[in-house]
Amino acid sequence: MDFQITGIIPDTEAWGSRAWTRFEVYDRWGVKVFETSDIEEGWDGRYDGKTQPMGVYVYIIEGSLPTGDKVHLQGNVTLIR
């Protein structure tokens, strides 16, 4: 899964120095279909080796900035085949 963060933090370079601790994807029933602590590892739209159906999925990304501030991002992504 590729996605872009659509917000910015003005006048800071801290965003580029973030440390991700969790990236999860859930289906519409709340089943966790993907989890990693490596933000470079993306979701390929599969769960247990099976291609998942088109639809809306929820992502959660958590981490921290060098300042110690916690970051929590949550939103929806639509899987299209």
Question: Tens of pLDDT along 15-60?
Answer: 455 577 899 999 999 999 999 998 678 899 999 999 999 999 999 9
pTM: 0.74
21 contacts 70 by C-beta, under 8 angstroms: no
Cα–Cα dist 3/25, whole Å: 12
- Does residue 14 sit in helix, strand or coil? helix
Nearest alpha carbon to residue 81 among 59, 55, 47, 57: 55
Cα–Cα dist 67/76, whole Å: 27
- Domains in the chain with CATH codes: 16-79 (2.60.40.1220)
